[in-house]
Amino acid sequence: MAPDQLRQSQQALQQSEQALKGGDMAEVDHHALLASRYAATAQQTARLKEAQQVVANAPVERSQAIAAAQAARAQQAEQQAQTAQQQAQTAQQQAEAERQPARTAIAD
């Protein structure tokens, strides 16, 4: 629709220029006003189409944001699990190290 409005605006502008050459100022004003209105309508149509595209893309962007958040949470959980596992291994090693002297003392 916007291209039609732009074409009509250009035609009205050309008619205004022709009327100017003929000296008919009322006709110049009339076609200049039409050209202006058609151009404004074309701009509004372009803005509308842009807004409609944003709305159409919103579900996709929402899904992508949710997926990114889930991936971040999963990565954080994995890091926490690895940290917990390392802490458990360290605690087990410390416990084993503390038991070793006790075993040696009992064996003696």
Q: What pLDDT, on the 0 to 100 scale, is given for residue 3? A: 82
Q: What is the mean pLDDT of the chain?
A: 89
Residue 105 or residue 45, greater confidence: 45
**What is the extent of the structural domain holding 27?**
2-107
> From CA 39, how far away is CA 2, in angstroms rounded?
9
Residue 103 or residue 13, greater confidence: 13
Share of the chain above pLDDT 70, in %: 92
Domain total of the chain: 1
Q: How open is the CA angle 18-9-5, to the nearest 5 degrees?
A: 155
pLDDT digits (tens, 9 = 90+) for 42-85: 999 999 999 999 999 999 999 999 999 999 999 999 999 999 99
Q: What pLDDT, on the 0 to 100 scale, is given for residue 96? A: 86
